[in-house]
Amino acid sequence: MKNATLRDVAREAGVSVSTVSRALNDQPFVRPEVRDRVLSASEALGYRPDVAARSMRTGTTGAVGLMVSDISNPLFASIAKAADLALSPRGYALMIANSANDPVHEAELISAFRQRRLDGLMIATANEGAIGLGDRIASFQASVLLDREVPGSRADAVLSDHAAGLGEAIRHLAGLGHRRIALVAGTTAQRGSRVRIEAYLAQLEQLRIPRDPDLCRPGEMTVEDGYRAVTELLELPDPPSAIIAGNNQLFAGLFAAIRDLGLRIPEDISVVACEETELTALHNPPLDVVRRNMDELGRTAAELLLARLDGPQRRPRRIVLATGFEARGSSAPPPPHPRLVRSGVHAA
Amino acid sequence: MKNATLRDVAREAGVSVSTVSRALNDQPFVRPEVRDRVLSASEALGYRPDVAARSMRTGTTGAVGLMVSDISNPLFASIAKAADLALSPRGYALMIANSANDPVHEAELISAFRQRRLDGLMIATANEGAIGLGDRIASFQASVLLDREVPGSRADAVLSDHAAGLGEAIRHLAGLGHRRIALVAGTTAQRGSRVRIEAYLAQLEQLRIPRDPDLCRPGEMTVEDGYRAVTELLELPDPPSAIIAGNNQLFAGLFAAIRDLGLRIPEDISVVACEETELTALHNPPLDVVRRNMDELGRTAAELLLARLDGPQRRPRRIVLATGFEARGSSAPPPPHPRLVRSGVHAA
DNA sequence: AATAGGCTTGCAAACGTTCTCAAGGAACGT
DNA sequence: ACGTTCCTTGAGAACGTTTGCAAGCCTATT
């Protein structure tokens, strides 16, 4: 019960293999009558072109790769979903890989993708400065950076305007009277954290709020790191009255830390999340958040990819998507006498 | 700057193509000296076997498919991550597709997977009773059902013991005094919902709690459906004092509905979620949940797949994974006089 | 009516790999 | 010295598709 091949269809339709190929691929110079005959023969035999054979001949696979640090992060999962929604109707399949934010592993995975001759690559790279990254990315017919900037890369990119939303958030907090605003940022090897730190510093400057190096914490992007950062922040002699978490993982850590320290939101401390998640959307009271549309990001990336796969090579395109701050119920004026966190209180 | 092929390596090493192939594939009957020469030539040229060509020759691709309704659902995303973690070190790549719970679309996507000659399929099928589904699944060298049962299928399966955890939950609620316990289940076309409904009815029976058809609601698996179901439940003349949501989407709807109705958890109503999510884990107060380990599910599925791809065909294996109920803070004794929901109150 | 030129079609060569088959060569026993 | 056997290697076919090339046919133009 093997699959029918072009030869089978050719025999059935009484024509040559090449004619079948031409007919099925909508090429000109096939007599309509013959075309119909081929089509019905193909239909009758349930013919499905063999992707591997086509791939070997044409060099294309009709598959694209998505490289993220962790597909189980809902942000990346949403991107994957939205991208697939745009790619699938065009016949493209989506292959995913998890870099675990390890540049070396990522390089191997990209190499594996290329070995599979994937037509395109969408990537939220672990380290924008990894050596040779630009070349690795450029080895695909089309590639799109997902909220990343790789120096000297000629790839397309979809970026988020983090500065806008974060600026709003900080102005909102300052308006409530906060002067000690902390930012738990992620790794500066990725654009998001870098832009947030820049925007944070710039906004404080503009508001004439003194900057305190203790309050701006780059680091990893894990829940654990967020937890630790918040714990340390609240043990400072002069702790912040508001904390902004740079992504959803960091926010989860922040949230757990505040819970374990027995602090109330927003009475004891104000918090702002970057990235909308189920938690920020449904929590009671609702949580302030710097939002962006991950569906739009994934869809736009897929569209850029498709455009480049279709058309002639244009010069790299950069698309910047909006972000916005939404004040809900997790920020309030700072308490007059900041509640002291007993030193040494950690998670049970 | 094309990729090196076997021929290039052969020329470089001064041997024939077939010898190179043998040497690189660790086949016997290659002189050690020749093998070394081939290996270093391969290294020097940066040779990478062409997956398409190999695939055409061998019929295998080293890629497996994952078919779920929606990869942006964190449950499925976790499965994907865990599966990839097990597959990737073995050189397998993961291709994903979203069926949107549409059996027809799913069938097309499976067909596309097979056209790509994927070696295996992991699938949480939309409708276990879809005609021809068993054959479609069996068309792969290996396939694993993800918490699904397809009648007559010879595929391996990883199942969750929903009945155990749900039974615990109901006993817990009954122990608090609840007699009106509602279950917002999903589609009966999928094992999870079916098993939960059976277990729910059986457990009520065993506890001698009268069953009320109004309180057991199969339906879709969407947030909207959960919202609507809860709204309708609370408009009943004799509303439930506790509601269990059958999955995370339904629970999100449940949660939003209760918030919009202005009810307090657990003072006014007790709730139990099936599936741990960021919301259930971090919410304050923490939410009662019937847990299962999605990582384990994904990893086990991948291991079953790998075992079948490696070894001789055994008979189908079914692995059942544990679930457990965790009481936290979202259930309490039912209020003496159930707070009436004003008719017509819906979300703004 | 002859010929040019455009449609249509088929043949056969690639794409890069694996694998069967046959043959060369060495070692060994008689 | 010869035959047998086993190890080692290479030639070449095959996987299923696309595509360049050439040949055949038809129409139209001169």
Q: Residues 207 to 266 of A: which have CB under 8 A from any B CB?
A: 248, 252, 255-256, 259
Of A213-217, A227-231, A342-346, B22-26, the range with the lowest mean pLDDT is: A342-346
Asked whether A207 and A181 are in contact (CB, 8 A), the reply is no
Q: How far apart are CA B137 and CA B150, in angstroms?
A: 10
> In chain A, at which residue ranges do the beta strands (DSSP E only) sit?
63-68, 93-98, 120-123, 142-146, 156-160, 181-184, 216-217, 242-245, 270-274, 288-292, 318-321, 323-326
B59 contact to strand C (CB, 7 A limit): no
Shortest Cα distance, chain A CAs vs residue B202, angstroms: 32
Query: Which nucleotide is the nearest neighbour of B5, by CA and C1'?
Result: C16
Interface check for A39 against chain B (CB to CB < 8 A): the answer is no
Residues 17-76 of A with CB under 7 A from strand D: 17-18, 21-22, 24-25, 47-50, 53-54, 56-58
User: Which stretch of DSSP H or E encloses residue A253?
Assistant: helix A248-260
Task: Please check the confidence at residue A241 and state whether its pLDDT lies above 80.
Answer: yes
Structure confidence at residue B347 (pLDDT): 40
Structure confidence at residue B339 (pLDDT): 54
Say what percent of chain A tops pLDDT 70: 96
Bridge partner residues of B64 (DSSP): B94, B120
Phi, psi of A45 (to 5 degrees): -85, -5
- Contact (CB<8Å) B74/A74: yes
Interval B292-320: pLDDT, tens:
999 999 999 999 999 999 887 789 999 99
B25 contact to strand D (CB, 7 A limit): no
Quick one: which residue's CA is nearest to C13's C1'? Answer: A57
Q: How far apart are CA B151 and CA B154, in angstroms?
A: 9
Asked whether B79 and B297 are in contact (CB, 8 A), the reply is yes
User: Which stretch of DSSP H or E encloses residue B92?
Assistant: none
Q: Residue B29, Cα to own-chain centre: how many angstroms? A: 45
Q: How far apart are CA B233 and CA A1, in angstroms?
A: 52
Asked whether A193 and A185 are in contact (CB, 8 A), the reply is yes
Asked whether A230 and A184 are in contact (CB, 8 A), the reply is yes
Tokens of A186: 């992620």
Query: Which nucleotide is the nearest neighbour of A17, by CA and C1'?
Result: C10
Structure confidence at residue B28 (pLDDT): 81
Structure confidence at residue B1 (pLDDT): 56
Asked whether A182 and A243 are in contact (CB, 8 A), the reply is yes
Divide the 348 residues of chain B into consecutive groups of 10 and give the mean pLDDT of each group.
86 92 89 91 93 93 97 98 97 97 97 94 97 94 97 95 98 97 97 97 97 96 97 96 97 96 95 96 93 98 95 88 96 79 43
Structure confidence at residue A346 (pLDDT): 43
In chain A, what residues touch B106 (CB-CB under 8 Å)? none
Task: Please check the confidence at residue A159 and state whether its pLDDT lies above 80.
Answer: yes
Tokens of A30: 């096939």
Amino acid A32 CA to nucleotide D11 C1' distance, rounded Å: 44
> Mean of the pLDDT values across residues A17-23?
93
Shortest Cα distance, chain B CAs vs residue A7, angstroms: 16
Structure confidence at residue A343 (pLDDT): 45
Asked whether B299 and A72 are in contact (CB, 8 A), the reply is no
In chain B, what residues touch A248 (CB-CB under 8 Å)? 278
Task: Please check the confidence at residue A344 and state whether its pLDDT lies above 90.
Answer: no
In chain A, what residues touch B81 (CB-CB under 8 Å)? 70-72, 98
Structure confidence at residue A314 (pLDDT): 80
- pTM for the full predicted model: 0.93
In chain A, what residues touch B298 (CB-CB under 8 Å)? none
Q: How far apart are CA A53 and CA B50, in angstroms?
A: 12
Interface check for A107 against chain B (CB to CB < 8 A): the answer is no
Name the residue with higher pLDDT: B347 or A137.
A137
Protein-covered nucleotides on strand D (Cβ within 7 A): 7-20
Task: Please check the confidence at residue A348 and state whether its pLDDT lies above 70.
Answer: no
**Residue A309 banded pLDDT, cuts 50, 70, 90:** very high
Interval B228-279: pLDDT, tens:
999 999 999 999 999 999 999 999 999 999 999 999 999 999 999 999 999 9
Q: How far apart are CA A13 and CA A25, in angstroms?
A: 16
Bridge partner residues of A183 (DSSP): A216, A244
> In B181-229, at which residue ranges do the beta strands (DSSP E only) sit?
181-184, 216-217
